[in-house]
Amino acid sequence: MQQKESPASRHVRINALDGSGSFNAYLAVPASGSGPGLVLAQEIFGVNATMREVADYYAEEGYVVLVPDLFWRQQPDVELGYTPADWERAFGFYKGFDEALGVQDIQACLNALRQRPEVTDGKAGVLGFCLGGKLAYLAACRTDADAVVGYYGVGIEAALDEAERIRCPLTLHVAELDAFCPPEARQRIVQALGGRPGVAVHVYPGVDHAFARKGGDHFHRASALMAHERSIATLKSAIGPHFDLAALWDKHCEYEFATRNVDDTMATMVAEPYVNHIPTMTGGVGFSNLHAFYTNHFVNSNPPDTSLTPISRTVGASQVVDEMLFCFTHTTEIPWMLPGVRPTGRRVEIPLLAVVKFRGDKLYHEHIYWDQASVLVQVGLLDPALLPVAGVETARKLLDETLPSNELLKR
């Protein structure tokens, strides 16, 4: 399965540390042209399209990613899919794989990354999946990696005697239903590594091996998203990159609500972003759809007196969560919040929550939440006397916790 290389990606040669030759590695560089280094250790299917897509994904996060061909001593440039025949071939390569030499090849890639001009501060980590997940664990024990993340590594329980040699932050993601890591093996890993300083072992309930492989039979989006958030937190805390996410979000909001410039707003986002206003399911997925939505239904559709009052803000490794009051007078139609509702001239004050995810220094998505029933009460479309809903009181109690509680219970 072939995939065209982007202008920011290409193949490079890496010299083996034992002098036995050199091997190919896929290199993906962030749009900024520089960042911390990251070695991506493959699954048993070689450096296939899936691994290159993961590399490009982490380049978007700001890393200079190198994906070594770990099967090169058996057969160079293995690229397999996921058919039964490919699985059989993949297990053949896995059985013939020399683990110790694989870890040496990862060290060679760490060395090569640190020598590249694109890599900042000489920092480099390791990220691995499946076979690569086991190698990632071993890299934490045997290499000079600055941070390591491993997904559903196979056979880690057989190398727990090396745990005393772990020398960098390590995060492991374990699937509860993984037949390659049965309950007794999982328990040994958790007992041996849990509680060690700098080591985190996360078990994902109800999911199977390869739960983070998008498009795979066992892909579980919620678990994959949570695991990615934890992975990025581990990597950023140890090697970066460090972006002022709060300032980037503030600039995005300035373009949306102050200068009201769609192109400037889109420029703060990744190439294919998405926005989802949860209560009304308005927004857009992908650049063209979201640009059209912003142009026709959002940026120029908010009333002139619209204001956002910050209440609290939480900044994580890759996202910002803002709690705010969203206030306006309903003098214009607001398609994204009140689609099809003609202006009522009524005042609306509503608590609003924004969960804003970033990739690198660009917004990837926005999940926006508010109580639609409270909005409808305030514009006169719901009668609070007939339903268990509240109007402007929800906003006022957010600012003053001494206001009465449980008023609806008295009905």
Which residues belong to the active site? 178, 209
Give the number of other Cβ atoms within 10 Å of residue 33's Cβ. Answer: 10
Rg of the chain over CA atoms, in angstroms? Answer: 25
Burial of 382 (0-12, 13-18, 19+ CB in 10 A): middle
Nearest CA-CA partner of 156 in 169, 176, 139: 139
Q: Per residue in 295-305, is it b (16+ CB within 10 Å) or e — as a string? A: eebbbebbbee
Q: At what angle do helices 131-142 and 99-115 cross, to 10 degrees?
A: 70
Which DSSP state fits 332? Answer: S
Instruction: Tell me the two tokens of residue 20.
Output: 């036995």
Amino acid letter, residue 186: R
Nearest CA-CA partner of 145 in 176, 103, 187, 195: 103
Strands (E) across 244-306 are located at 269-277, 282-285
Amino acid letter, residue 377: V
Strands (E) across 330-383 are located at 347-359, 362-370
Q: Which residues pair with 368 in a beta bridge?
A: 277, 354
Give the list of residues 6+ apart from residue 142 with CB closer than 8 angstroms, or none.
Answer: 103, 107, 162, 165
Amino acid letter, residue 133: G
